[in-house]
Structure 1
Amino acid sequence: MDNINCDSSDDSSVEEIDIKPIRPVARSRPPQQQTGVNKARSPARSLSPNSVLNVSGDHASIKRCLDNYSSNNSSVAPFPSVVPLNVGGIKYVTRLSTLKKYPDSMLAALFSGRYQVDKDAEGNFFLDSNGILFGYLLEFLRNGLMPPKEQSVPLYREASYYGLHELVEKLHYMPPVVCLLVKEAHKSQFPNYEDVKEEVIKVAMETATFTKMGEVVIHAFRNEFVSKVNTFNPKHGCIIESANVTIGPWDAPVDEEVFIKCLENDLREDGFNVKPHEPKKKCRYYHGQSCQKYVYRLQILL
């Protein structure tokens, strides 16, 4: 992972889009008419793309999302051929055919006429999404244009949410997305990685109260240690009892040193000042068989 070049230098061949945000319009819901028909509500943002690898726009997820808003085959008023949009406070006007360009996408489903999309006070159809990113998404639908490299990662999440697989596939090969996907895949080798990382940060904050140097002792193990002799005492006061955080075992073919380096690099990329970790400290117990357990000490300057 360290050898991947994630340089975000400008690419002069990419056409930038001039999008001017405006003041968000106060949203009000028009009074519902008593028609006796239950209209399906819009599923916009009911799927939150929190992780790049947790792509919400696959066919199964889209179907589950839209099924939650099923209206027993009832329909809503058809959309106009030219659609006014308010996306997170930014106004757009586009053709209905543009929004429905890829029939299998969730965006096309939203504007299929089977679901009710909320309107703002001015009558624009409202989507609770990032308006600036949606502009890049529209440019792809209109002209096939790709975004600037610095917008490729957030747009990857947005395109995944809306089920625009054609755009997702193209974004797969942009350097920032490649770097992020490799990084996420690397971290996914370790169980509960994000929870462990959060615990490391919490412990560092607690231990840095007086010295500003947060020290965390980590017991990481790929495989469970099993004693081969009867004389081995499992309650021998093992060094792992000093550990603040424990992670393991895992099935991936990478050892504990790879995990520690992965964690260090991840924390540095987040902006933490992490000292290079010390060599692992082994347990000194021996009684017919030496104890194979050990810990790492990580130090974060806060």
Structure 2
Amino acid sequence: METTTFEDVVELNVGGKLITTSLDTLRKETDSMLADKFSGRHVISKDKDGRYFIDCDGEVFTYIVDYLRTGKLPPQEKVLDVYELAKYFQIKPLVGELKIFYSVIYKNQIAKLRDRIERKEYGEVKQKTIDAIEDGKIGPKENKALHFFCKLGRCSGCIPNKDSFEILGDFSISINIFIDTKSTDLTEDMMALLAYELCELGFAKDALPKKGNTGPCMLCMRVQEINQIILLTQKQ
């Protein structure tokens, strides 16, 4: 079996970023994948200059190294990326410390939502929403209010417009998305996941799912229940 002998100081090429650290640092968490990788039991690829190559984001990896050196945690905006890489390298103490950050808690909650909702039903609502936004040719720099409701059996006056939502949100850009609510249940889980994924897709920086009612229709006097997602250009 081939093995690797390391110097005390190790030169790394991590996704193109050059990092120098000690062998002790890389082996600090003895039950991690990173320690196993540099245990000497494996052959590690090298770049053309003889540096050991690790195929991941070099900037994120520097925060892993900083934690192993001194216990320093990453800045708030990097927590989620470092958390995912720490899980990959099985650095359990770092994973445990990052779990309390809001961004990680939220990401884990979203993962649970994905497991709970009906896949096919949700996929149809998501695609219909994306199509409606794209058909409106509305850019990502404009705040938008998405209204989800059933138009079946309603008169023309029941179709919401921006003036119907003074309580839910006063936006000049309003997009109505018609959903057959008899066959598709727009649950809170579904709307929360949709709001999150619309941000991931670049339609907004932040999204707020809400629920409410319009005022009485001027023609039939019905009150319409509305699911709404506010797409915002800035984080709230």
Cα distance in 2 for partners of 1:136, 1:275 equals: 34
Residue 203, structure 1, aligned to residue 131, structure 2:
yes
Equivalent of 1:97 in 24, 27, 31: 24
Gaps of 5+ in 2: 138-172, 214-224, 232-236
CA shift at 1:166, angstroms? 1.0
1:3-82 residue pairs with structure 2 within 5 A? 74-82=1-9
1:145 aligns with 2:72: yes
| Bigger share in strand | 2
Structure 1 match to 2:191: 261
Say which structure is richer in helix. 2
Q: Distance in 2 between matches of 1:125 and 1:107?
A: 13
Paired residue secondary structure (2:116): coil
How does the TM-score come out when normalised to structure 2? 0.61
Residues 196-220 of structure 1 show CA distances to partners (whole Å, capped at 9, x for unaligned) of 56523443257547xx976544356
Contact 1:197/1:263, CA 8 A, preserved across alignment? no
Provide Cα deviations, 1:18-66, integer angstroms capped at 9, x if missing partner: xxxxxxxxxxxxxxxxxxxxxxxxxxxxxxxxxxxxxxxxxxxxxxxxx
CA distance in 2, matches of 1:298, 1:203: 16
CA offsets per residue over residues 65-119 of structure 1, 9 Å max, x none? xxxxxxxxx2223222221001111111111121111122111121122222111
**TM-score of the superposed pair, with normalisation by structure 1:** 0.49
What amino acid maps onto 1:120 in structure 2? D
Q: How far apart are the structure 1 equivalents of 2:84 and 2:117?
A: 23
Question: 1:216 touches 1:297 (CA, 8 Å); kept in 2?
Answer: no
Which SS does the other structure have where 2:108 is aligned?
Answer: helix
Matches within 5 A, 1:191-270: 191-192=118-119, 195-196=123-124, 198-204=126-132, 208=136, 215-219=176-180, 240=183, 256-263=186-193, 265-266=195-196, 269-270=199-200
The residue aligned with 1:179 is 106
Matches of 1:196 and 1:156, distance apart in 2? 31
| 1:25 equivalent in structure 2 | none
Q: Distance in 2 between matches of 1:177 and 1:200?
A: 29
Q: Quote the offset at 1:130 in angstroms.
A: 0.9
Q: Which has the larger radius of gyration?
A: 1
Per-residue CA deviations over 1:233-292 (Å, capped at 9, x if unaligned) read xxxxxx65xxxxx57xxxxxxxx441453245325644348996786xxxxxxxxxxxxx
The sequence identity of aligned pairs, in percent, is 28
1:188: which partner in 2? 115
Change (3 A) 1:206 1:152: closer
Q: Which runs of 5+ in 1 are unaligned?
A: 1-73, 221-238, 241-245, 248-255, 280-294
Native 8 Å contact 1:86 1:120 kept in 2: yes
Q: 1:203, 1:215 within 8 Å by CA — same for their partners in 2?
A: no
RMSD, aligned CA: 3.6
Q: How many residues are matched?
A: 182
Q: Is the 8 A contact 1:100 1:107 kept in 2?
A: yes
